[in-house]
Structure 1
């Protein structure tokens, strides 16, 4: 990698504390296009594993954890407790974002991402070894919750770091497509986890509950080895290396996650709004719908899980083109479009689900998650341009994961509100989906006007 350093390179300023760097005073670094694709692929593979692990827990929470780990409760209470355990991971994610963001902005993107992937892969694999309530009593759900907390901490640092690493290797005019490549890790993880459970559900119910459900979790161990081998070959971010070199030369203070709250709080609020729909909307149309369709509408478990498989394929087909569209019109405008479209479609989508038809549910879930994915496809690109490189890992991770903490309990809330009605219906879920869709659209509108340029310019060489 060849560095072409401009003699007048400016020091990076904290978000909101100074003007954008002058074009003539910015450092330029050249990267090999082939190397950029290699780094983006490494980020994608790691992120796919992270989300495989994370989504696997969500599917299991809707299908088996309720009666295997909360057997002393009635059916509704067990489902609520299972979703609460699922939501605990979202509470942990902002703490993970803060911890890993602090490391990522100080010791580097690559080593921090290696730590995060080992943590979540190990936690997921251990879930597959965990005894049930019948074997060890109340200790079982406690251990399950602790493992979910560890998952949440690790995921809190993964997505922001993978996005930052990919984007900081990419030329500015191609950031949309490389950020989108990391986003594909989410549906790829969903596809893997849904396929795993779909195969498990081919077994007799007794076999599923006794040992079958454990197999997808145990698969996290070999997948972790593969992801580690790929990720360790990725190079450190050239932007991070250049900024650290400049800071050492000028004896400047390194970036800190604390600075995101002190100096970049406006950007952080916008980042949270932008990310709400990509996280919360997905779980309303995936985790909640799985529980609602199987529990309230009486649809077979296998059919609903298959619907999520179709939705994951649709996500991949949506992410790639909208990542490129964002390079032309700006990621904020794409976020606005996706948010408004989802808000308008929320009611019709649940009308299809309420028919109880497997075909209608499949169409609704696929279309709904596809619409949510329009905004999600460019979330990484927009969030990365809200924060300067010195605070980017922390800012991106905190914005995304605080949104997760705010929306992770949506399946729990929607289920509670639904069952508080005289006749249970999906109306609360619809209202929640509309609200977060509009908030994300607003975030995209404001965020598009807050984008900043790096002091370090990456150019393909």
Structure 2
């Protein structure tokens, strides 16, 4: 006779219901946490495009002020690998969950302080220096967030749904960007003098509310079962090397291929989120038009990321990602031409093709693609290192280089930018080809590495 529990539900079905609830909580935590982190991180990009040049680099020409502002944006990306290493080390040693809580607190605190930071006109040269310091803290925090969020989702998931589950961390990027853009757009409806005086600060100060919501959800989630199993193995056979040494000695090729294979996704994402703003405004679009189009396409992006990730569970990560990179190489110049035509429908089509379609094809499978290259004992460190170096190159340095290349052509001819981005795409294609074809996902995490992609 089989045992039953209340209301005729068997222990097996009760456990299944509990597992489903826990999985839903994990996915929601991964999504919300990443959305809040990227809200803060990408909000800075909007402010760098439209505000910081005037307020913190007022002694420079308008063009140089934008470049200097983008340089501070790049500093945050440069700090992301450091955050990945720090949080990865402790995430592989003491747990994913605690590091995710700390990352959220750091990010929220830095953003709130940016909202209170005096301008250069008030405190002089200390203002841009403090802005840079807070941006570094943001970079460290977001560098620690992604790896933990992706792994918590993936390591709670069934093997045949890893791509879809891990993509919830990536969904947070466009979701956070959409929220940041909407809030920033609403604030930008103020008269220019009020917006520059205090209106731009409101989105940064709202970060405190979002962090409180995120922490409420995140603290309820159980630790990764894969990490707990790794801890049990470590108790029997203690680790002799720190996670970073393990990654650099056992997985150096994986780090390089993870970085180069995903760099095109970050380059296009960052260009469309930052560089494209002043470019489209110079072509005749209003600031409000560009922000609202960006917000609309980011909302679509939230849904296309898991769709392409789920497709990668069926036909393979590389197949989906390579199709996206190839499309970016071919269409990047037409995208700039449409954005520069001064037509609002063409602006929408350009960003729609660039982000929710082509970029999502690469970015959707990225979390699982990168994470599956490393064994559970050093996965937080390895995945964070490869991902964050890629984001630093593609997301932080590319907009700065693109701005300089556009200026070299008089400020309105994007051909150098298109050739530059296409070159990055060729590198990504080569890395994806070299990565090899992953074999079917294993059900056991006791083995080192999940694929033969390295």
TM-score (norm 2): 0.91
Partner Cα distance (1:46, 1:321) in 2: 20
User: CA 1:382–1:205 in 2, change beyond 3 Å: closer, same or farther?
Assistant: same
Structure 1 Cα separation of the partners of residues 106 and 245 of structure 2: 24
Root-mean-square deviation (CA, aligned residues, Å) is 1.8
Q: Contact 1:176/1:323 (CA < 8 Å) preserved in 2? A: yes
Q: Deviations over 1:115-156 (max 9, x none)?
A: 111101110111000001111111111100100000001111
Are 2:233 and 1:272 equivalent residues in the alignment? no
Q: What CA distance in whole angstroms lies between the structure 2 residues aligned with 1:166 and 1:125?
A: 28
Q: Is the 8 A contact 1:247 1:254 kept in 2?
A: no
Seen in structure 2, the aligned counterparts of structure 1 residues 69 and 243 have a Cα distance that, compared at 3 Å, is same
Aligned to 2:392: 405
Assess if the C-alpha contact under 8 Å between 1:275 and 1:376 holds in 2: yes
Residue aligning to 1:71: 58
- Mean alpha-carbon deviation: is it higher for 402-411 or for 60-69? 402-411
> Would the aligned equivalents of 2:150 and 2:168 in 1 still touch at CA under 8 Å?
no
Note if contact 2:96-2:224 (Cα within 8 Å) is conserved in structure 1: yes
The whole-number CA distance in structure 1 between the counterparts of 2:420 and 2:400 is 12
Q: Structure 2 matches for 1:36-435, cutoff 5 A?
A: 36-253=23-240, 256-294=243-281, 296-370=282-356, 371-407=358-394, 408-422=396-410, 424-435=412-423
- Classify the secondary structure of the residue corresponding to 2:94: coil
Q: How many residues were matched structurally?
A: 428
Quick one: which of 12, 19, 22 aligns to 1:35?
22
Structure 1 residue 33: Cα displacement:
2.8
Whether the 8 Å CA contact 1:270–1:447 is kept in 2: the answer is yes
Q: Shift of the alpha carbon at 1:323?
A: 1.6
Q: Give, in angstroms, the shift of residue 66 of structure 1.
A: 0.6
Q: How far does residue 405 in structure 1 lie from its aligned partner after superposition?
A: 1.6
Q: 8 Å contact 1:277–1:339 — kept in the other structure?
A: yes
Partners of 2:158 and 2:398 in 1: CA distance: 37
Q: 1:456 aligns with which of 440, 445, 452?
A: 445
Q: Which residue of the partner structure matches residue 424 of structure 2?
A: 436
**How far did 1:453 drift?**
4.1
| Offset of residue 423 of structure 1 | 6.2
Structure 1 stretches lacking a partner, 5+ long: 1-29
Equivalent pair of 1:106/1:254 in contact (CA under 8 Å): no
Cα deviation code 1:262-297 (max 9, x no counterpart)? 221100011001221221110112211002122x32
Higher percent of residues as helix: 2
- Counterpart of 2:14 in structure 1 is none
The residue matched to 2:93 in structure 1 has which SS?
Answer: coil
TM-score (ref. length: structure 1): 0.89
Could you tell me whether the CA contact under 8 Å between 2:264 and 2:428 is conserved in 1? yes
Matched residues in 2 for 1:177 and 1:237: separation? Answer: 17
Bigger Cα displacement from structure 2, 31-40 vs 85-94: 31-40
Superposed displacement of residue 445, structure 1: 3.0
Query: Is the contact between residue 352 and residue 364 of structure 1 (CA under 8 Å) also seen in structure 2?
Result: yes
- Matched residue of 1:233: which SS? coil
Q: What is the rounded CA distance, in whole Å, between the counterparts of 1:99 and 1:457 in structure 2?
A: 24
Deviation at residue 341 of structure 1 after TM alignment: 1.2
State how far apart, in whole Å, the 2-side matches of 1:442 and 1:391 are: 26
Deviation per residue, 1:336-370 (Å, 9 max, x gap): 11111111111211121121212211210121112
Contact 1:382 1:448 in 2 (8 A): no
Where structure 2 has 5 or more consecutive residues not aligned to the other structure, the ranges are 1-16, 448-454
Shift of 1:166: 0.7
- Contact 2:374 2:383 (8 Å CA) reproduced: yes
Greater shift after overlay, 247-256 or 312-321? Answer: 247-256
CA contact (8 A) 1:338 1:441 kept: no
> Does structure 2 conserve the Cα–Cα contact (< 8 Å) formed by 1:414 and 1:429?
yes
Larger RCO, structures 1/2 (Cα 8 Å, 6+ apart)? 1
Distance 2:240 2:437 in 1: 28
Distance 2:443 2:143 in 1: 24
